[in-house]
Structure 1
Amino acid sequence: MTAEGPRTVRVEGAGFVPIGDPYAAFAAGVDPADEGAAITGVLLAPCEPTVVVGIAQNGPGHASPVQAWLKSPRTVTASGVPARLRRDAGATVAEAEIAVVIGRDTTGLTIETAHEFVWGITAVNDLSSPDRAAFDPRNFESKSGEGYTPLGPWVDTALSIDGDLPMRLSADGEVRAETSSHRLPMTLRECLAYVAGWTTLGPGDVVMMGAPFSQAPVRPGETVEVVIAGMRLTTPTS
């Protein structure tokens, strides 16, 4: 956010360089062009998804090796924005996850071609109230707290969905979970193909890849930090 309103930028050192529409550039197979000199401002969430999909890693023996659910895009917030944890929904769990940001219409996406539809990767903290799952197996209540999807701080367009991306969850400086994407039961490609096989995603939509080994309880007042491949997403809580 700048004094003149929101701008799309690329990060260069400690500054921000305005760029053109990144999704139009992605569809054309080129890098977005710079649009002026570096500016100052505050980072907002790095995309405005119409659809946010969560992946449930169900593991061996389940009727489906991977399933998906939907989360309201209105729960998306930027790095550094405080989240008030619900007191009426039991314990709160923070989940350090890889978020894949879609670059274009996913019609035709398969396991083999999934990388052609991915604009980039960012970090997401899928805050959850798991005690509500016993009453609401569809995840609406457990996932819909205000500000329960911190996303960012930016999208890394150079990361590969095939790489072994480090994932770490900390609270008040204490590491509570640490893993990497190659420990996910289903690959990022398989998850994307599963989702695209049921619904069409578009530019800016987000698929959260699950956190079977990167989640931990958090308490009000703690500052939660999710680090994905060097991207540091911070969420103070109250």
Structure 2
Amino acid sequence: MRIARVATPDGPRTVRVADEGLIPIADPYAAFAAGVPVQDAGDPVRGSLLPPCVPTVVVGIAQNGPDHPSPVQAWLKSPRTIVGPDAEVRLRRDAGTTVAEAEVAVVIGRPTAGLTARNAHEFVLGITAVDDLSSPERAASDPRNFESKSGAGYTPLGPVIDTALSIDDDLPLGLVVDGADRALTSAGRLPMSLRECLAYVAGWSELGPGDVVMMGAPFSQAPVRPGQCVEVRVGDLRLRTLTV
């Protein structure tokens, strides 16, 4: 199932994307926790796509590799930086070069108490695409990634949550800028598996329904400048934004 959120005249609706249109559905997180199918909840609707989830917590993963003293490190990014598909993102002019990073985003389906690397898939609702926009030149004075990650709109997310994708899939990753390929890679090039990263995060801090873990950029980043169209590809998901 592909789950999206749509802005309608009656407010945001959660829908499944189907051949017959955007079909409203009941709470997918409640259904996931109960282990039952998600039920339809109305006739097809129209509207513009919103971010596919509303996380309380967004975690970023630094994939340092097995030879680093800490192969995996996590940091927090404000959920208020999230924007949906086709958003315009104003790049900061006071933070140096902006880099787009194409990443797998894992959407948590239920509270992660008890999550381990072995059973991590039991806590994952699905996967979506994220562009973890960053200002790496701030790193020298900002080792905690606050300034470098906090630009307004610096977390484009979407367009849908694909519940059929697995955290074990070697998902193709791509970054396309103004129609030109800037990076072609896959999740299999991450030093640490998605399972190991989720277990690391859950071992320190419990996550909940709708929370997002951004899994890192395995050679899937490139500088961007105002006026460019940026597309992040995760499998066959396509997330587009326009920088201004």
Shorter chain as denominator, the TM-score bin is over 0.9
Matches within 5 A, 1:124-203: 124-203=130-209
Deviation, structure 1 residue 13: 2.6
The equivalent residue for 2:227 is 221
Quick check: 1:65 aligned with 2:50? no
Deviations 1:70-123 (A, max 9, x none): 000000000101000001000000000000000000000000000000000000
Quick check: 1:111 aligned with 2:117? yes
Deviations 1:13-59 (A, max 9, x none): 37200000000000011121001121111110000000000000111
TM-score by length of 1: 0.99
Q: Percent identity?
A: 72
The equivalent residue for 2:44 is 38
The equivalent residue for 1:211 is 217
The equivalent residue for 2:32 is 26
TM-score by length of 2: 0.96
Q: Give the whole-Å Cα distance in 2 for the aligned partners of 1:45 and 1:99.
A: 12
The letter of the residue matching 2:221 is Q
Q: 4+ runs of 1 displaced by more than 3 Å? A: none
Deviation, structure 1 residue 5: 0.7
CA RMSD of aligned residues (A): 0.8
Secondary structure of 1:196's counterpart equals helix
The equivalent residue for 2:4 is none
CA contact (8 A) 2:187 2:218 kept: no
Deviation, structure 1 residue 199: 0.2
Q: Give the whole-Å Cα distance in 2 for the aligned partners of 1:203 and 1:60.
A: 30
Q: Give the whole-Å Cα distance in 1 for the aligned partners of 2:20 and 2:56.
A: 29
Deviations 1:170-206 (A, max 9, x none): 1100100011111110000000000000000000000
Deviation, structure 1 residue 3: 1.2
Change in 2 beyond 3 A, CA 1:41/1:228: same
Q: Give the whole-Å Cα distance in 2 for the aligned partners of 1:154 and 1:98.
A: 12
Secondary structure of 1:27's counterpart equals helix
Quick check: 1:10 aligned with 2:16? yes
Q: Give the whole-Å Cα distance in 2 for the aligned partners of 1:60 and 1:115.
A: 23
5+ residue gaps, structure 2, are 1-6
Q: Give the whole-Å Cα distance in 1 for the aligned partners of 2:33 and 2:218.
A: 33
Q: Give the whole-Å Cα distance in 2 for the aligned partners of 1:202 and 1:194.
A: 15
Match of 2:90 among 66, 84, 90: 84
The equivalent residue for 2:129 is 123
Deviations 1:116-175 (A, max 9, x none): 000000000000000000110000000000000000001000111101101000110010
The structure with the largest strand share of the pair is 2
